[in-house]
Amino acid sequence: MKTIFWTTAILFLSGIFAIGCSNDSTETPEPTPIITTGTVPAVSSEGGSVTIPIEITPATEGVLPTATSDQAWLEVTGVSMTEVACSAQKYMGEETRSAIVTITYPGAESKQVSIKQSGSNIQWVEFEIEIVEVRSRQAVINCIPSDLEATYIGMACKQSEVDAFTDEELIQDNFEYFYEWGPSFGATNDEESLELFLRSGAMENYEFQLDQPESDYCFIAYGLNSDGTVTSSHIFKKSFRTTAPEQQELSFQISVRPGIDYTQVNIIPSSIHIPYLWGVMLKSEFEALGENPAQAIIDDIQAKVDAAVEAGDEAYFGEYTVYHNQKGSFKDLVEGEEYVVYAFGCDVKGYLISPIQTQLFTETRLQKVDCSFTMSFPNTRATMFTCNITPSDNTVRWVGYTLPYEMMENYLSIEEMTEEVISILDGMEGFDWATNTEYIHTGQQQLTSYDLLGGELSPETLQLVAVFGVNEEGCRITDVIQSSVTTIAAGSLSQMTIEITPKLIDGYDVEIKFKPSLKELYFYDIQPTEHFDSYESEQTYMEDLLYSYSSLLLPYKETVGETVMTASGLKPGTEYMGLAFGIDGIISTPMFYERFTTASVPMGGSAQITNIDIKIEDGDAYYESNPSMYADLQGKAVVTFSVSKSSESALCYLACLTNTAPGMSDQELVDLLVGYGDTEDFTYVLEWDQSADVMAVALDQAGMAGSLYKKAFTPRKSDIQTSAVTVGRKVHSLAEQQRALEQRIERHQAQPAQNATTALFSLMPQSDMPRNTEMVVTTISNKATHPSLVRIRNSAR
């Protein structure tokens, strides 16, 4: 291929040369030179040297530009290919004056530069700068201008930058910096760029971030107007030096897990934001590091960095530090030898910032158990699947898991991925490898993807299923056996049926058993049939049920396999139904339900209501006493009921109704009262002149109801009883009674299908952070939002 490439190139060039040999004598004209100039800040009234940066492209060798000034107070003192030097006289006038310097070059269009000189009447802005606090990468300053209305520049620079320039050169260099970075903050021209970096007022206890510990910095300030006029006689400066990095509170959870082929070491730091170093070495080598092994390790790394830099390579200490959890599989350790795992906080610049923590272990390799696993998938849905897992040795304890197959790309092997899963299980609160039966199995099992830590899967997704044996310490003792299955497309209906068996307990309590024909996800609940019968279709009813529970509560109404639900405090003499239907991203089955009716309240008891006293008050009086609390009472009647009852009464129920259905029997009304009524005196709000019925019934110790007591009344303003308003009294509307049933049902819920744990997929790292990665953690003060606060050039890591 190379020969053909070069042959083609030669032929092509030959063609060019052939064309070049034509008789056309037209010559290509030389490009026209262009003069480019830099920005020049205003000259102070004291006068002095002025430099205009220039660039000429293309330039003719040996030919210099010329420059002239149109004002006598500004003299051109020198010209080179890169700058025009001028000298300005001292100025005693009050107004700012201008001069035009014209720069010419043979063949180029002339260029004019305007130079301004400030009037001597300008009140110089002075600054009082105080360094309040300095840390390793942070400083707090006070910078108080003499004129709080004046605009100025206040920023931190490397001390070396400040020392390298005169004040005039530093200001000009700053201008270039402002114009370069202004567009990044939205500026559309040089003036807008400059205005972005100007500030006014006092900078008090102003906090800003720096990048280098134990380094020299300088805070500078000088007055500057938006037109580029400098309003300070000189730059005000305050030098300071950052400290060594502060010590951090950092500890580590170190785990060493022996294996068949390697030893797994996991490091979990107490903070994910602090950099650290860790490793494994022979005990003898670790002891040879001396009294301060952490510093010895740092010095060794620094020597490697220095050697690489000296050899011309780009190297940084921060490439060796790490963040977050770390792990390593060590295959080359010698069995029987003692090793040390170490970890300690280390700044990205190579500073020790927390004590070293170690763990000693003796290298041990486990004997592999000869056990394999076979898998089959009898049922696959869009969001889950069922897997039959059969071990060749029924005595082996084993774990299975499922993950999207594409996650294998994040790991070198299935064994490495499995170690991650083991670490996740190991970190679960209360998880015990010796006793857990939720995730650790023996013998043949039929498990769903939920049982395999899968959570809700995505349709048409290839899923990895892996199984491995473990011992009581959580170490893998068998090969990892893997298989795969692809979930089906969404929208497919299921063949699952659900058998529902209700069992009444003590009349008002119920226990319902749900038994599905397949291991698939389904929704289950208990609801009044009156609510269900009001819907035109089962589909709409099921959709509304799912919507009403929302994503937060829905997992506690979904399950897989058999479950039992109990409900207590149901309304007496009321028809309910236990219901269930399949869920697979959509409603995947018809609704299955079984109706049942709770017992009515037994009548004929000895407890009786003897009287209901009615007290009517003006709602406006309540409103005037506390408008925010009693806003709903304005213009309404406030009615309080006090019940008198016989000594046999153990419990009393009361209700005030405005729409009692005609023809309702006492039994129906008693059931209604016990289901919805109040058990203590309450104050109600009603409309004036609105007819209502107050009813009450008492129950004796045996739970039998006495006679129903009813009293009709109409609240009228002529019946108002004047008394002091009791601020804070509970007043509720009749509508609240309609919600009382739901408030009094105490449901014992089965566990959600995910066993109240997060799916394994969300716990697995989506990709490993490379070991040699430096993470920059930025802390932003609520004040440090100004773009000009810190200026650092070529910041080194």
Asked whether residue 222 falls in the same domain as residue 263, the answer is no
| Rounded-to-integer distance, Cα 109 and Cα 174, Å | 29
| Burial class of residue 291 (count of CB atoms within 10 Å of its CB; 0-12, 13-18, 19+) | exposed
Q: DSSP H helical segments within 605-682, as ranges?
A: 619-625, 666-676
User: For residue 683, what pLDDT is reported?
Assistant: 76
| Rounded-to-integer distance, Cα 686 and Cα 632, Å | 11
Identify whether 768 is part of a domain.
Answer: no
Identify whether 477 is part of a domain.
Answer: yes
Identify whether 40 is part of a domain.
Answer: yes
Asked whether residue 736 falls in the same domain as residue 622, the answer is yes
| Burial class of residue 167 (count of CB atoms within 10 Å of its CB; 0-12, 13-18, 19+) | middle
Asked whether residue 159 falls in the same domain as residue 237, the answer is yes
Identify whether 491 is part of a domain.
Answer: no
Asked whether residue 355 falls in the same domain as residue 379, the answer is no
Identify whether 150 is part of a domain.
Answer: yes
Asked whether residue 639 falls in the same domain as residue 589, the answer is no
CATH number of domain containing 703:
2.60.40
User: For residue 570, what pLDDT is reported?
Assistant: 86
Instruction: Say how many domains are in the chain.
Output: 6
Secondary structure (3-state) at 197: helix
Strand positions, DSSP E, 118-174: 127-134, 138-145, 151-158
Which residues, 6+ apart, have CB-to-CB distance to 175 below 8 Å? 39, 41, 194, 228
Asked whether residue 389 falls in the same domain as residue 467, the answer is yes
Domain range for 655: 609-741
| Burial class of residue 476 (count of CB atoms within 10 Å of its CB; 0-12, 13-18, 19+) | buried
| Burial class of residue 494 (count of CB atoms within 10 Å of its CB; 0-12, 13-18, 19+) | buried
Last residue of a domain, one of 328, 362, 396: 362
| Rounded-to-integer distance, Cα 357 and Cα 346, Å | 12
Q: DSSP H helical segments within 451-507, as ranges?
A: none
Structure tokens at 132: 């309040």
CATH number of domain containing 165:
2.60.40.10
Identify whether 141 is part of a domain.
Answer: yes
Asked whether residue 211 falls in the same domain as residue 304, the answer is no
User: For residue 760, what pLDDT is reported?
Assistant: 60
Asked whether residue 358 falls in the same domain as residue 385, the answer is no
Identify whether 284 is part of a domain.
Answer: yes
Q: Identify the H or E element spanning 5.
A: helix 2-20
Asked whether residue 620 falls in the same domain as residue 732, the answer is yes
Count of helices and strands (H, E) across the chain: 13, 41
Last residue of a domain, one of 319, 343, 362: 362
- The strand pairing partners of 616, in sequence order, are 639
58 upstream amide cis, omega within 30 of 0: yes
Query: What are the φ/ψ torsions at residue 386 (nearest 5 degrees)?
Result: -115, 135
Last residue of a domain, one of 725, 741, 757: 741
Amino acid at 131: I
pTM for the model stands at 0.59
Q: Is residue 119 a contact partner of residue 141, using CB atoms and an 8 Å limit?
A: no
Q: Which residues of the chain have pLDDT under 50?
A: 1-23, 727-729, 732-758, 766-797
Question: What Å distances lie between residue 99 and 41, 70, 275, 537, CA to CA?
Answer: 13, 6, 57, 88
| Rounded-to-integer distance, Cα 464 and Cα 51, Å | 70
Identify whether 653 is part of a domain.
Answer: yes
User: For residue 660, what pLDDT is reported?
Assistant: 67
Asked whether residue 352 falls in the same domain as residue 319, the answer is yes
Q: Is residue 607 a contact partner of residue 699, using CB atoms and an 8 Å limit?
A: yes
- 3-state DSSP of 531-589: HHHCCCCHHHHHHHHHHHHHHHHHHHHEEECCEEEEEECCCCCCEEEEEEEEECCCECC
Asked whether residue 585 falls in the same domain as residue 645, the answer is no
Of how many residues is the chain composed? Answer: 797
Asked whether residue 300 falls in the same domain as residue 399, the answer is no
